[in-house]
């Protein structure tokens, strides 16, 4: 079994030293799903606060950019691109985010943060219609680049 990288030899939490790693193009895709009643989905275009999906898109991008401020041991990395896309179903909204960098460490946490923040923003903007909306299954879909290569969720 691999050892966890965020602990030093004494077992204390530590930021990983990536200074010896090569800067390469790295991309990560993450997803979150909001389960909600069909009437909430139908009401999206008429939200008094504005279009929840457009606000969530901006919030997701901001979240990706702030990841190292939110997750204590994440490196601040220069993002070259972040996208937030939505797939609307009869009873759900699927949020898919992509984060890209050319850096010495990956962007999985940035993509996951973007998906989480976008989903939370949709909840915030629609909770007046239904507080039972559920944010489900936040996960990494794919990552490319770096020493460990490609990962794709099955």
Residues in contact with 137: Cβ distance below 8 Å, sequence separation at least 6, in sequence order:
31, 32, 33
| Strand partners for 81 | 100
In the predicted structure, residue 6 carries a pLDDT above the cut 80: no
Identify the CATH assignment for 24-146 out of 3.30.1520.10, 3.30.70.640, 3.40.50.200, 1.10.10.350.
3.30.70.640
User: For tokens 């490196």, what's the residue?
Assistant: 75
Please state whether the predicted TM-score (pTM) of the whole model is above 0.85. yes
Question: In angstroms, how far is CA 25 from the centroid of its own chain?
Answer: 18
CA distance 154 to 55: 31
CA distance 132 to 134: 6
Residues 41-89 have pLDDT tens digits of 999 988 887 899 999 999 999 999 999 999 999 999 999 999 999 999 9
Selected catalytic residue, list 8, 124, 130, 137: 124
Q: How buried is residue 92: exposed, middle or buried, by Cβ count under 10 Å (0-12/13-18/19+)?
A: middle
pLDDT of residue 11: 74
87 DSSP assignment: E
Residue 140 confidence class, pLDDT cut points 50, 70, 90: very high
124: annotated active-site residue: yes
User: For tokens 């990962």, what's the residue?
Assistant: 151
In the predicted structure, residue 21 carries a pLDDT above the cut 90: no
* Percentage of the chain lying above the pLDDT 70 cut: 97
């Amino acid at each position: 079994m691999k050892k966890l990288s965020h602990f030093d030899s004494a077992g204390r939490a530590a930021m990983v030293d990536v200074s010896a790693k090569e800067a390469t193009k790295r991309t990560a895709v993450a997803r979150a799903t909001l389960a909600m009643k069909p009437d909430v989905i139908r009401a999206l275009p008429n939200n008094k606060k504005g279009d929840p999906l457009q606000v969530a898109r901006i919030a997701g991008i901001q979240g990706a950019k702030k990841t190292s401020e939110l997750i204590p041991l994440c490196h601040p990395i220069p993002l070259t691109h972040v996208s937030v896309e939505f797939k609307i179903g009869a009873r759900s909204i699927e949020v898919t985010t992509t984060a890209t960098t050319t850096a010495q460490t990956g962007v999985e946490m940035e993509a996951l943060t973007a998906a989480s923040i976008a989903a939370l923003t949709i909840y915030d903007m629609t909770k007046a219609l239904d507080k039972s909306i559920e944010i489900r299954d936040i996960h990494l879909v794919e990552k490319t680049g770096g020493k460990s290569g490609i990962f794709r969720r099955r």
